[in-house]
Amino acid sequence: MQPLTLLAACFCQLTSLWDQLQQKIMCPGPVTCLTTSPNGLYVLAGISENIYLWEVSTGNLLVILSRHYQDVSCLQFTGDSSHFVSGGKDCLVLAWSLCSVLQADPSRTPAPRHVWSRHTLPITDLHCGFGGPLARVATASLDQTVKLWEVSSGELLLSVLFDVGILSVTMDLAEHYMFCGGSDGSIFQVNLCTWPGQREKSFQPEQEHGKVFRGHRNQVTCLSVSTDGSVLLSGSHDETVRLWDVQSQQCLRTVTLKGPVTNACIMLAPVSMLSSDFRPGLPLPHFNKHLLGAEHGDEPHHGGLMLRLGLHQQGSEPSYLERVEQLQAVMSSTLEKNVLGGQDQLRIRVTELEDEVRNLRKINRDLFDFSTRIITHPTK
């Protein structure tokens, strides 16, 4: 099946599924960008200058991140769902650790792992490469540059200067090439293997490390590369979607739409998507608009298992840390009441409580390690 035929078939099937599942989920404000974690557990949305994080299975709003100063323009998870990156109109790019965000004290705003502030105009797009915590992140901006960062160290690896503003960016799976969509309709192919040791470089299409795809008549808003790196998909405000052969820079197909294209991507279609008998096994719940939704007027949800890290509670039961504190309070009270007599009985009681405290601490530590492995290594 040709790539375009596969995309059309997937679109028809998704339209059928949407007719069955469509529901309106009201958010606290206009959504400027939206993404889901690759493991399907979380949804991120940029609403004004805030980032909202929901749990898909329950619809609970877990945290609101307020570290951008202007509207959030783009969001993306790393491939293993352990980190996510946000870019905004404030020219900042923030790299977040999902584990740290979920464990943060609810009374304090979590801090990002890295703050990248080398762009001078609004961030328009970003792309997370392969590797999870070791991934490289490409960021595009209206300042006519695309920058390549390393998540593990936070270092700037490469900055490429163009002669036009850049609206979109992506890389092939092997990260040999970086594709950048310009405001004039051009698509620039940057060879990442020809600039060893250089941190800053101007793009020169006439040289061997640069090629240009020409055909769009307006700004290129989205880019996507096939898994084998042979086909490039682009969408533009000129109301067309184009498929390109990467090796020859020739346009293979052009699809004309009835309005500007804002997003498009190439994805592997699961078998169930092309089956007429496919029915989703888990309905999507309504997303709460407030933290701890039941306390702020949202309807509580029942019947699902909720797992929380750190200071989050599971249902109405006290956490292990709270039980440890209660036992320590009982120990202190027992010591005060029996300080004048019953020393033998007191020592026995204290020994029993200390054993229980140690057991509870071990359970809490094991639960934390198990939960961390689920988040950082979801496929294992």
Clarify whether residues 259 and 367 are in a common domain: no
Given the structure tokens 């006439």, which residue do they identify?
206
- Indicate whether this model's pTM tops 0.95: no
Report the percentage of the chain scoring pLDDT > 90: 49
Average pLDDT, the chain: 81
Asked if residue 283 is part of any domain, the answer here is: no
Domain region containing 336: 318-376
- CB of 225 closer than 8 Å to CB of 168: no
Residue where a domain stops, chosen among 219, 240, 274: 274
Last residue within a domain, chosen from 274, 298, 328: 274
Please give the Cα distance from 252 to 219 (Å, whole number). 19
Q: What is the mean pLDDT of residues 142-167?
A: 94
Query: In this predicted structure, what is the pLDDT of residue 287?
Result: 83
Which is more confident, 11 or 200? 200
Residue 40 in any domain: the answer is yes
What tens digit of pLDDT does each residue of 163-217 get? 999 999 999 999 999 999 999 999 999 988 876 667 888 888 766 556 899 999 9
Judgement on whether residues 201 and 350 belong to the same structural domain of the protein: no
Work out whether strand 200-202 and strand 156-161 pair parallel, antiparallel, or are unpaired.
Answer: parallel
Per residue in 216-236, pLDDT tens? Answer: 999 999 999 999 999 999 999
pLDDT given at position 24:
74
**269 domain-assigned:** yes
- Looking at the structure, do residues 258 and 345 belong to the same domain, yes or no? no
Query: pLDDT-based confidence at 342, cuts 50/70/90?
Result: low
**12 CB-contact burial (10 Å; exposed 0-12 / middle 13-18 / buried 19+):** exposed
Q: Is residue 297 in a domain? A: no
AA letter at 314: Q
- 292 pLDDT band, cuts 50/70/90, is low
Is 19 found in the same domain as 114? Answer: yes
Q: What's the pLDDT band for 362 if we cut at 50, 70, 90?
A: confident
140 part of a folded domain: yes
The last residue of a domain, from among 243, 274, 305: 274
Task: Give the H or E element holding residue 169.
Answer: strand 166-171
Residue 215 is assigned to a structural domain of this protein = yes
Residues 354, 205, single domain; the answer is: no
Instruction: Specify whether 32 is located in the same domain as 171.
Output: yes
The predicted pLDDT at position 12 comes to 41
Co-location of 328 and 207 in the same domain: no
Give CA–CA dist 135/355, Å, rounded: 44
Terminal CA-to-CA distance of the chain, rounded, Å? 33
Query: Quick one: pLDDT at residue 31?
Result: 92
Considering the domain boundaries, does residue 235 fall inside one? yes
**Least confident interval from 215-224, 234-243, 288-297, 345-354:** 288-297
Highest mean pLDDT out of 96-110, 253-267, 276-290: 253-267
- How many domains are contained in the chain? 2
> Residue 301 domain-assigned?
no
pLDDT tens track for 27-73: 888 999 999 999 889 999 999 999 999 998 888 999 999 999 999 99
Do 110 and 100 contact (CB within 8 A), yes or no?
yes
Q: Are residues 267 and 364 in the same domain?
A: no
Q: In what order do the strands lie in the sheet with 93-97?
A: 72-77, 83-88, 93-97, 114-116
Answer yes or no: do 232 and 364 share one domain: no
Asked whether residue 87 falls in the same domain as residue 214, the answer is yes
Q: What DSSP string describes 274-289? A: G-TT---SSPPPPPPS
| Domain identity same for 233 and 357 | no
Nearest CA among 298, 367, 309 for reference residue 106: 309
Calculate the CA 115 to chain-centre distance. Answer: 16
Residue 344 and residue 234 in one domain? no
Q: What is the CATH number of the domain that holds 153?
A: 2.130.10.10
